[in-house]
Amino acid sequence: MAKSRTWTLWKDDKVNEEESKLLRKPAEEVPVPFDAEAKKDIKTLIDAFCSRDDALGLAAPQIGISKRIVIFKNKNFGEKTRVKNSSEYDVLVNPRLTQTRGKEEKMNEGCLSCPDISVEVTRFEEIKVRAYNEEGRKISKRYTGFLARIVQHELDHLEGRLVIDHGGAVSFPREKEAFFSRLFKFES
């Protein structure tokens, strides 16, 4: 299984300039039908996701691939387990949000690319997405509740948008206060 490191905006008390650049830029469309490189990138992301138990979702830019591909658990969100087969996750290639519905809900979110913090983010309760699946078939999906939140989080990554860009309250451990106060220019 491919070993992929997760790219992050910072690590401990240091900003990752190079990784931030890629995480911050809009990802590229994947050619359809998929060429060999697209198939390889999709497989790399699936393998990276399936090899860890601490992620609800993963977007290609998070492993250094600036392409419009995301993967996320579609069930068992509460369990810290690896997904075992393809019925437990969805892959969306070139996803487009086609509809948002319901009231907007606030919740704290973490992100592997923004370690040590959680941020209050407002998301839509229900969304519709058009995309291609990992086999290159056109799909149309409706997501609600917590799953809709996960998908919106992953789609944000494809625009180079991260949880800290939503303007919500940021929570972090007390011992990290010096670093994060500087980073987010808080009054402390």
Question: What residues line the site for Zn ion (CB under 5 A)?
Answer: 111
How far is the CA of 149 from the CAs of 25, 28, 36, in angstroms?
A: 21, 23, 31
| Residue of 181, 169, 129, 133 whose CA lies nearest to 153 | 129
Residue among 9 and 38 whose Cβ is closer to Zn ion: 9
Look-up of token digits 């392409």: 67
Look-up of token digits 């419009």: 68
Residue among 45 and 111 whose Cβ is closer to Zn ion: 111
Token pair belonging to 153 = 């989080």
Residue closest to Zn ion, measured at CB: 111
Tell me if 70 sits within 8 A of 59, measured CB to CB: yes
* Residue 188: CB minimum distance to Zn ion, A: 26
Residue among 12 and 54 whose Cβ is closer to Zn ion: 54
Residue among 93 and 119 whose Cβ is closer to Zn ion: 119
Element (H, E) at 20: helix 17-23
* Residue 154 annotated as catalytic: yes
Q: What are 76-79's contacts with CB under 8 Å, separation 24+?
A: 77/146, 77/147, 77/150
* Residue 66: CB minimum distance to Zn ion, A: 15
The residue annotated as part of the active site, out of 88, 135, 154, 175, is: 154
Element (H, E) at 92: strand 89-109
* Residue 98: CB minimum distance to Zn ion, A: 22
* Residue 153: CB minimum distance to Zn ion, A: 6
Q: Which residues are designated catalytic? A: 154
